[in-house]
Amino acid sequence: MSGTPVVEPMHNIIIASRESALAMWQARDIQQRLAASCPQTRVSIRGMTTQGDRILDRALDKIGGKGLFVKELEAALMAGSADIAVHSMKDVPMTLPPGLEIAVITEREDPRDAFVSNRYDSLDVLPAGSRIGTSSLRRESQLRARFPLLVVEPLRGNVQTRLKKLDDGNYAAIILAAAGLKRLGLADRITAMLTPDESLPAPGQGAVGIECRVERAELIAILRPLNHEPTAACVRAERALSRALSGSCQLPLGAFAQSEGEKIRLRGLVASRDGVQLVRAELTGDARDPEALGIELAARLKAQGAARILAELAP
Cβ within 8 Å of residue 204, ≥6 positions away: 88, 89, 90, 92, 235, 238, 239
CB atoms within 10 A of CB 288: 11
β-pairing verdict for 131-134 and 173-177: parallel
Separation between Cα atoms, residue 201 and residue 180, nearest integer Å:
13
Cα angle for residues 15, 17, 18 (degrees, 5° grid): 170
Question: Which residues pair with residue 245 across a beta bridge?
Answer: none
Residue 268 is inside which H or E element, if any?
strand 263-271
How do the residues of the chain divide into helix, strand and coil, expressed in percent and rounded to 5?
A: 40, 25, 35
Separation between Cα atoms, residue 315 and residue 308, nearest integer Å:
14
99: left (phi over 0), alpha (psi -120 to 50) or beta: left
Pair 142, 271: CB distance under 8 Å:
yes
91 tagged catalytic: yes
Pair 218, 271: CB distance under 8 Å:
no
Which one, of 90, 66, 85, lies nearest residue 207 by Cα?
Answer: 90
Distances (CA, A) of 204 to 4, 108, 209, 303: 31, 9, 9, 24
Q: What are phi and psi for residue 95, nearest 5 degrees?
A: -120, 125
Pair 177, 18: CB distance under 8 Å:
no
Q: Which of 53, 83, 91, 110 is catalytic?
A: 91
Q: Which residues are catalytic?
A: 91
